[in-house]
Amino acid sequence: MNNFIDKATKIFRVVSCIIFAFIIIVTMVNIIGRTLFNAPISGAVEIIEYGFMLAIAVVMARTGYENKHVSVDLVTMNLGPKGKKAFYIFGALCGVIAFGIIAYLCLMDAIAYTTGTSRLTEALHIPYSILYYIIFAGFALGTLVFLYQLIEATKDLVTGNCGPDLRHLSEEEKAKRIAELAEQGDLDI
């Protein structure tokens, strides 16, 4: 399952980068066209709005997989390794629930727009169902990421392996992270 999640989230990260690059190009061309030629791109605002929404939806799973979400250690800084692992499990459980609900709601909307009255975006006439299916895919993958982390962290807590989770890192990144943790005195492996 780890290999599937790794490959899928890497693909989604590339898709997100392509979308962000496209947004930047559209924004620049729109500004130049509007300023110099009085000819803005029709639908540029829609491209930028929906582009950001889609790019963020598909990249969040990779961010979660790499444990790169913003975190504040105020609660966990005084906990021992088992307490930190338990708190991590709680966070993963919250992630499974939140991402699962959002994925489910997006899927229901996508199906409703596909089978019922089709709704289109205003300027570009893109079917909403396509947007919802893409957002669903991102959040469904995010749900799998958090579920995987929940299962692995629970196994670690039960077996007593309460050190930092370094499974997603390459060998070079792993060695660097271990050196950082050792330097901070926070190496509980």
User: What's the domain range around 141?
Assistant: 2-184
In a domain, 126, yes or no: yes
pLDDT one-digit tens code per residue, 10-54: 999 999 999 999 999 999 999 999 999 999 999 999 999 999 999
Decide if pLDDT at 167 tops 80.
Answer: no
Decide if pLDDT at 176 tops 90.
Answer: no
Decide if pLDDT at 188 tops 60.
Answer: no
In a domain, 56, yes or no: yes
In a domain, 19, yes or no: yes
Name, in order, each residue with C-beta under 8 angstroms of 131's C-beta and a sequence gap of 6 or more.
Answer: 50, 53, 54, 121
Q: Domain count for the chain, please give it.
A: 1
The DSSP annotation for 45-111 comes to HHHHHHHHHHHHHHHHHHHHHTT-S---TTTTTTS-HHHHHHHHHHHHHHHHHHHHHHHHHHHHHHH
In a domain, 189, yes or no: no
In a domain, 48, yes or no: yes
